[in-house]
Each structure stands twice: as structure tokens, then as C-alpha cells.
Structure 1
Amino acid sequence: MQVTVTATSTERNTKTMQRLSKSVVPAIAELPTKAIQFGEGNFLRAFVDWQLQQMNNQGLFNGGVKIVQPIEGGRVASLEEQDNLYTVLLEGLQDGKDVQSHEVITVVTGTVNPYVDNQKYLDLANDDNIEFIFSNTTEAGIAFDDRDRLDDKPQHSFPGKLTALLFERFSLGKKGFQIIPCELIEHNGDKLKESVLATAALWELDAAFVQWVNTDNTFYSSLVDRIVPGYPADRAAELAEEFGYDDQSIVKAEPFLLWVIEGPQSLTESLPLAKAGLNVTVTDDMTPYRERKVFLLNAPHTTMASIARLAGVETVRDVMIDPEFSQFVNAEMYEEIIPVIDLPHDELAAYAESVKERFENRFMHHELASIALNSISKYKSRLLPILVNFHEKVGTFPPRVTLALSALLLTYSGDANVTVVPVDSDEVLATFHAAYTTATTTGSNVTADYVEAILGDDSLWGRDLTELPGLVAEVTTGLDNLRTLGARATIALLA
């Protein structure tokens, strides 16, 4: 059910706006709890819960979710203060048009804080209606913790808490769950299952439970994509006037979303997200989709953060409304990245266009400085595979991806004439500074010697990049051009 709340001008002008609650919205249908959600943060509420509501709006799911607070310093209490209601505010471009809409989300049937009442948490195992478990406990959340014990109330880690719940479910003789983690790590479902089984071994749980985990529960790996800036603090008063109520848990998100889930097609029947018109794909191999997102969204982010900042450009949108830099990004996508991704060209092109539309979102102030954090590891995972695969396939180096590498070497050199300051680990920064200092004091060709030292450091890249014939020379030329001509004139050479 979609809930839209209106208020009279008199109500809106009251000194104290009424807090969002069940007394503010129309009658809300009681829903059976069909899912457990580990995490009450902005992303899950604007991504998973919003999608559950879209299915409910179309009569396809008829279910709600109980939210479990996964860490002690969580905020489920603030949701309870609003009867577990909150607003999702969508703002951005979709299909070339501005989208500005809001909806009160009514799918949360309750919350559980295991740090306050662990038995209430374990009692979730007794609900036969619950079929799904979703999670987003940060990238570090899916990790085995040998401090966990079965009699902890609760366990330290998310896998520990999940194992305790699964063991309770098993002990009650009930069916297992379909478990879909959303943490941003590769093969998240496999890694969560491994952590659960490691915890079971730590606790010396019997073989029958291990078999039940393996046969009666399904752990899906998934890839999620939606930009969720979160609570719009700078506009809270304005939005309260517009909505006619005060909501301390508003979540702002972009209209675009993508969810790729690796698993059997039977999931599309029990969780009919695609049938509800949502951009959800269930596949037996999510690798190409992960590569599509990492290489067509994250990789251009890293490229623009590496090069455009040297020209004084500050945000992603600034890049996209700049004629020269937007053409640069477009060419990188279509001429250097798409040719080396193993998916149909039309599908990749459609995704690239949607990414560019998202980059141009006038409602998002996405700073390049924040994207540039830890750029060396980001280049290694996002851009280096493109550089290597392009070279293997074409025999040359992709010029824009390679120029991004030159830009990073310039930025990280410690050269006093470079005003852009890198933010990375002390170890990484020290490696670059040492190589540059050595080159300036002992080398006959400072730039080339510095480039060769850095590209040859396999601790940075996972391999010796000087083994790629011609790369040192190309990166050296790019670095020299950036230093002498500037970033804008250098990218003009590639147009």
C-alpha cells in the first residue's frame, strides 16, 4: 500500500510539527512478518524495505520485515518512536526526467534489539511465516569471530548472531531460510555461509545441524546498487512543511536501483521483485553484472577523481556538465571499458547511459575528493583489470585509463607543485614519496625512474607492471603532459 500524507496549511504552520506515527497516516493493514533484516541503516531501508513495499503495493508479497539491530550502538529505538514508519525521498534523473517523490514505508512490523532483549531475538526463530533474511552490516560485518559463544547474549559478530538464530530454528524442527546479504564484498553469500559453518565448528554443534544449514537454507550472493545519501539534514524543516509531519528517519535516495542475485530462478516466484517492475535479476552467475557495475560505474568515478581534480573540478556532476570532461568519460566508457566486458554490447550501452544519467543528478553533491580516498587500491580493483585486458585484446593501452594512472603517480609523488592532496594509508604514501625522492636525487630521468619504481612495486598492484611492454613509457609521457600542460590540455590530446 502506498501511503501519501497531506496536511492543511494550518497544520503545516503549527509551531511544532507532529511526529510521523500511525496517528498521522491512513489506516495501515497488519502484515505478517515474512523477513528478518539485520541492519536498520539508511541503505537497507531505502533499498530492500522500499522494494518490499513496491511488491506489497501490487499485491505480490503481502509481507513485512522485522529489523534486528546488529550492533550495540544502533538506532532501532528511533524507528519505534515513529511506530516503525519513515519516508523514502527519491530525487534524481530517471529516463531523462527529474524525479521527486516521497512515500511512507509501512513494511516494518517491528524491531528487535538483542542487546536489550536477546530472547526476543531468538524467538524470531519460532515464526513460521518468516522465510527471508536480509543484511547489510558493512563490508567488515561478514567475518568469523572466534570470541563468539553460543550462550552469549548476544554474540559479538553478525555471523555469530545468525548462527545462534539458525541453531534455535533447527532445534525447533522448522524449515530453513533464504538468506540474501547485501554487504559490498564479492561472493557475500558464500562468505557468510563459510562464517556460519566456522562458528558452528567453533561451538562444536552436531553434524545434523551442519547438514540442515547446508540443505535447508539457501545463501545467495548478491550485488546491490543505489546511491543513498541518507537523512537530508539541510532540508529537514523544508521537507516537514512539504510532508505535513516531522520525520527524523527520512531516507533520501536516487530513483535508480539494481539488485543482482545469484541463485535459482525459483527465487523469482517466492520473491517476485522483477514481476513488480523492479530492476532485479536472478542469475546463476553474477560475475558479469558485478564487473559491469565495478567497471562502468566505479571505474569512471576513479578516473574522474584522479584527473578532473587536477583541473580544479570538484564534483561528479561538475564533470558531467563540463563539455570536455564529459566527452572524456563517455569515450572511456565506450572505447576502453565496454570492449573488454563479457556482456552484450546493447546491454552495456544501456547501463552506461543510465550511469551517466546518475552522474548528472543535480540533487546529488558527490565530491570527487571523497571518491579519491584510497585511490591506489581503487585503481587496482577498478581500472587495472581494464588496462591489462585491453592490452591483451587490442595490443595497446587504453589511453584514458592509462592517463588516470599517470595522474595518480603525479598526485601521490609529493611534488610541492601539485596542489591536490592524496588521502591514503601512511604505508602507501610513504612508498610513493620514497620512490619520488630517490628518483629526484639519483636518477638521470626523474619521471621515468619514478614511474618505473612505482609500476615495478608488486605490493601496490599485485604484479610487476613494468613487465607490460611500453607501459612505463606511456605513463611517463602522461605524467609529463599533466605536469607541463595541465589536466585539461592533456585530455584534449585524446579527443
Structure 2
Amino acid sequence: MSRLSSQTLADLPADVIRPAYDRAAVTCGVVHLGIGAFHRAHQAVVFDDALNAGDLRWGIIAASLRSPSVRDQMTPQDGLYTMLVRDGAAEQARLIGAVQQVIVAPEEPQALLAALASPDTHIVTLTVTEKGYKLDPATGALIESDPQLAADLASLESPQTAPGYLVAALALRRAAGLPPFTAISCDNLPHNGSRLRAAVIALARRHDPALADWIEEEGAFPETMVDRIVPATTADDIVALTRRIGVEDQAMVKTEPFIQWVIEDKFCGPRPDFGAGVQVTAAVAPWEEAKLRLLNGAHSGIAYLGGLAGIDYVHEVLALPEARHFVESLWDEAETTLSPPAELDVAAYRRELMARFDNPTLRHRTRQIAMDGSQKLPQRLLATIAAGLEAGQGIDALALAVAAWVRWQAGQDDLGQAHQVDDPLAGRIGDVLASAASPGSRIAAILAFDAVVPPELARNPLLADALTRWLTVLETQGARGALAAFRQ
């Protein structure tokens, strides 16, 4: 079977939407760190829209900081890939042509540095997941004990981390008399722009205080909020698309119609004339808070409870009436902690979220969402709990979600099936829990784990009591039993 490529475009069915621009005339004004499915279904689409509108400065040089798999998928296809937008029975296929090159950073660190330091580069975007910033999730400080970060603290000749690449490239730009680029974190970190800025400046200051001062004065690190559900592509998805379009596309992505990108109006150079789905605003925090505490918080609760119950997909979890009741209750608790922007109708947003969760064609796996929980819980659930307790509000649904995460660490679901706890702190958390003999002692051990739980929150007896109660139910009655008990 032929692969999707520039040479096979003419063979595609007429209903496949193609780039409306000459890809050979594109200049790469964007470097993206961490190319994965989410970037290909979100930021790359936004820059593709700008190219389609006639501004040819916004091609993308993308980089993987670890695996060559995406490079190996995309390079034989000339960077082209199909985005399938699924909504019930409706499906739209669109070719995205914005990605011009994919670099595997460990293989070609100097090529990535050259791209970042190029005069053509105006924007650097990042989707490296929460753990890719090498920041303590509780404090926001650099994790200096991390081996890769320790290497970058010693030398930036061949960086190993996202902050390391940014600092090394900014040093090259300053030496060449170029302005800095605008660095935009697109990961679900609270105050992601401020955190990225702090990480970059802290690392720069360890190498060159004058460079750090220049970055502080001249650089730009906007806060952002990104939202689109992008399930992992399966082998069956690739086979089905091959049947539909007549060529094989190993880099395809599937997603929903909804797309949102809220960006703080803080750039230090050119930017596209952003189109639909992008909102440039003076204040991102209220949007970010609503998304983290409603969409992401519910997603984590669904993932751990559904995963423990042996349920594969989000929409299947929500087919249970008791699970829908749990999600609505979690939203009731979270909503009281929000300061939503005037433009956000929270009731309408909740209805829209439930409809998105219910979309059966997305087939969003609970185990995909369950990854990296130690990095996600502080902003998705624990911050909401802290705000609720401070306001004297209930936290029962939020506590059930956190207790389900604790239960997930055992590595076995309620059906006795083993699962991998895919988390950078899995070993340390497993050691902590292994020595605890009861639900109460396991919760006490987790609350003492300050890499995840802020000490002030950990000292609150209301949280300890709620978590112990729900972990006891989860261990004796399973996730389905806990959901049923919650509904009573």
C-alpha cells in the first residue's frame, strides 16, 4: 500500500480537504517541542489555518525530545497527515501541511538548536507533558535531582530538557543580535507561562546572569489554555483510514469538532492573525482554572474510577447513571471555587463538556488519561479541594476522585487485571504505599508525600477523613460500589 505523501495527494478522494497553499513557499516561523497527537490536532491546525489564509510565515519545525517514532511516521509522508474530526456519525478528513520537518532531539541536538536560533523563528510552542518541564508539581521549583536537568545545569552544549533547549537557543540568539522568540507552553500546568519563564530564567542564571537578565527584560512567555480531546490513534484507526482514502497514513490523528486556545496578549515578536478557536486575552487564568477544574478534574476522576472498574472508554463510564451523577457532583463542588470570565457561561460549558465526554466515536481511553497522575492531580483536583475547604464547601466527589488515584497505584483493577502505573513517581509512591497496612495509613503516607500534596493541605483533617473513607469503600466494594454508594 502506498503511503500518504506529496506524490500521492492526487490519488485521494475529493472529499479529503487539502492545504490551500504552496507548501514549498512556506517559511518556518514556529518551532514546536514535543510533537505528539495533541499538537498535530491543535496548535498545528491553528498555524495551518494561518497558512491557508495566505500568511506563509507559519510553517512548523517540530521536535521530539525522546522517541523517533513520530519522525519515522511523518518524514516518509513529507510531514503530511490526516486529521479526522468525528462527531457522532459525521466524519471529516483534512490534510494538515504545516509541519515541514521533524527533528529527533537526542539524535540531532544541534539541528534543533539551529532551528530555535533561526531569524525566521518567532514562536516556540511546547507540549512536553507536565513532567517535561522538570518542575516540582507542588512548588514549581526546578527538580535539580533529575538526571537530565542535572546534565543541563552542568552544560548546555547538547541540551537534554525543554528548558535547556530554550536557554541554549536564547543564548545563541542574543549572541547573534537577534530578539528572543515568544515561548508558549501548551501543557496543563497552572500559570504555565509563568512557570516556564521561571524555569528558563533559573536555568539561564546558573550559566550566565546577563543572559537571564536579557530574557527577563526582552522575552515573552504568555499564559495559555488549550482544549481539545485527542484520543490515541490505534492500529485499527490507521487500517480504517487506509480503506477510506486509499493510501496509508501512519501519522493520522482523530479528534472532536471543539477546539479552543486562549493566549495571553504577551508576544515579543510577530504572531499570526489567529482565526476561529483562538482567543487572545489580557487574562488567561480564569479560563485555565475553569478548564483544569471542570474538564481535566472530571477526566481524572472518570479515568481512575472507570479504569478500576475495568471500563476502557470515557463514554462507556458515563453510560452508568451513577458515574454521571458523580461527574455532575464533582462539577458542583468545583464550580464554587471558580472566578469565571464574563464570557464563560459555566452552565453551558458543563453541558458542552458532558456532550463531548459522551461522543462515542472518540473512544478516549481511561488508561490514556490516567497517565502521569502525580503531575496532574495538584492542579486538577488538589487545588480545587484546597479552595473548597478554605471556603467551607463540600469536597466529597473530589475526594473520591483522589482516593481512586491512590487505589490505582496498586497496579490492579477490581477485576484482578494488572495495569502499568505510568507515572514518573510510580516507584516512589509504590514504596510509600507498600509499607502501609490499612486505608488510613495509606492515606497518611500519601498526604505526607509533599512532591504531590502541598503540606498545608495535607494537614487538613477533613481531607484525611474523606480520603480514608472513600479508599476503604474502593478497596472493599470496588469502583462501581463506590459510585453506587456516592449516589445514595
Check if 1:242 corresponds to 2:244: yes
Kindly provide the amino acid, as one letter, of the partner of residue 2 in structure 2: M
Shift of 1:298: 2.2
Match of 1:365 in 2: 363
**Structure 2: segments with no counterpart, 5+ residues:** 11-17, 135-141, 143-148
In 2, the alpha carbon distance for the partners of 1:159 and 1:466 equals 30
Kindly provide the amino acid, as one letter, of the partner of residue 43 in structure 2: V
Match of 1:142 in 2: 133
Shift of 1:160: 3.1
- Select 2:454's aligned residue among 457, 462, 470: 462
Match of 1:102 in 2: 93
Would the aligned equivalents of 1:177 and 1:216 in 2 still touch at CA under 8 Å? no
Check if 1:341 corresponds to 2:333: no
In 1, the alpha carbon distance for the partners of 2:460 and 2:154 equals 52
Question: Structure 1 pair 392/113, CA: closer, same or farther in 2 (3 Å)?
Answer: closer
Question: Structure 1 pair 77/356, CA: closer, same or farther in 2 (3 Å)?
Answer: same
Question: Structure 1 pair 76/381, CA: closer, same or farther in 2 (3 Å)?
Answer: closer
- Select 1:24's aligned residue among 3, 6, 9: 9
Q: Secondary structure at the match of 2:133?
A: coil
Would the aligned equivalents of 1:53 and 1:107 in 2 still touch at CA under 8 Å? yes
In 1, the alpha carbon distance for the partners of 2:227 and 2:44 equals 14
| Superposed CA offset, 1:312-350 (max 9, x none) | 6543211222233223322331x3221221115852223
Would the aligned equivalents of 2:191 and 2:285 in 1 still touch at CA under 8 Å? no
Task: Map residues 292-441 of structure 1 onto 2, 5 A cutoff.
Answer: 292-307=290-305, 313-333=311-331, 335-343=332-340, 347-369=345-367, 371-372=369-370, 381-393=379-391, 395=392, 397-404=394-401, 423=421, 425=426, 427-429=428-430, 431-432=432-433, 434-437=435-438
In 2, the alpha carbon distance for the partners of 1:309 and 1:116 equals 36
When structure 1 is superposed on structure 2, of 453-462 and 243-252 the one drifting more is: 453-462
Check if 1:42 corresponds to 2:34: no
When structure 1 is superposed on structure 2, of 340-349 and 100-109 the one drifting more is: 340-349
Match of 1:217 in 2: 219
In 1, the alpha carbon distance for the partners of 2:246 and 2:380 equals 44
Match of 2:177 in 1: 173
Q: Secondary structure at the match of 2:363?
A: coil
In 1, the alpha carbon distance for the partners of 2:302 and 2:291 equals 16
Match of 1:256 in 2: 258
In 1, the alpha carbon distance for the partners of 2:206 and 2:27 equals 35
Question: Structure 1 pair 420/338, CA: closer, same or farther in 2 (3 Å)?
Answer: farther
Kindly provide the amino acid, as one letter, of the partner of residue 289 in structure 1: W
Question: Structure 1 pair 432/252, CA: closer, same or farther in 2 (3 Å)?
Answer: same
Would the aligned equivalents of 1:66 and 1:110 in 2 still touch at CA under 8 Å? yes
Question: Structure 1 pair 299/21, CA: closer, same or farther in 2 (3 Å)?
Answer: same
When structure 1 is superposed on structure 2, of 462-471 and 294-303 the one drifting more is: 462-471
Question: Structure 1 pair 433/399, CA: closer, same or farther in 2 (3 Å)?
Answer: same
Question: Structure 1 pair 421/266, CA: closer, same or farther in 2 (3 Å)?
Answer: same
Question: Structure 1 pair 137/481, CA: closer, same or farther in 2 (3 Å)?
Answer: closer
Question: Structure 1 pair 420/266, CA: closer, same or farther in 2 (3 Å)?
Answer: same
Match of 2:163 in 1: 159
Shift of 1:355: 1.9
Shift of 1:23: 4.9
Would the aligned equivalents of 1:33 and 1:109 in 2 still touch at CA under 8 Å? yes
Question: Structure 1 pair 413/134, CA: closer, same or farther in 2 (3 Å)?
Answer: closer
| Superposed CA offset, 1:218-276 (max 9, x none) | 22233333232344321323212211322222122333233232343898x83332xx1
In 1, the alpha carbon distance for the partners of 2:464 and 2:167 equals 50
In 2, the alpha carbon distance for the partners of 1:467 and 1:150 equals 37
Kindly provide the amino acid, as one letter, of the partner of residue 82 in structure 2: T
Shift of 1:201: 4.1
In 1, the alpha carbon distance for the partners of 2:203 and 2:472 equals 53
- Select 2:48's aligned residue among 41, 53, 65: 53
TM-score scaled by structure 1?
A: 0.75
Kindly provide the amino acid, as one letter, of the partner of residue 48 in structure 2: Q
Would the aligned equivalents of 2:317 and 2:323 in 1 still touch at CA under 8 Å? yes
**Structure 1: segments with no counterpart, 5+ residues:** 1-15, 438-446
In 2, the alpha carbon distance for the partners of 1:252 and 1:219 equals 29
Kindly provide the amino acid, as one letter, of the partner of residue 261 in structure 1: I
* Number of matched pairs: 456
| Superposed CA offset, 1:39-60 (max 9, x none) | 3332222221111112222346
Kindly provide the amino acid, as one letter, of the partner of residue 53 in structure 1: D
Which is higher, the Rg of structure 1 or of structure 2?
A: 1
| Superposed CA offset, 1:12-38 (max 9, x none) | xxxx33542245258851222222223
When structure 1 is superposed on structure 2, of 109-118 and 39-48 the one drifting more is: 109-118
| Superposed CA offset, 1:381-415 (max 9, x none) | 4334434433443x452443344456667777999
Question: Structure 1 pair 265/491, CA: closer, same or farther in 2 (3 Å)?
Answer: same
Shift of 1:372: 4.8
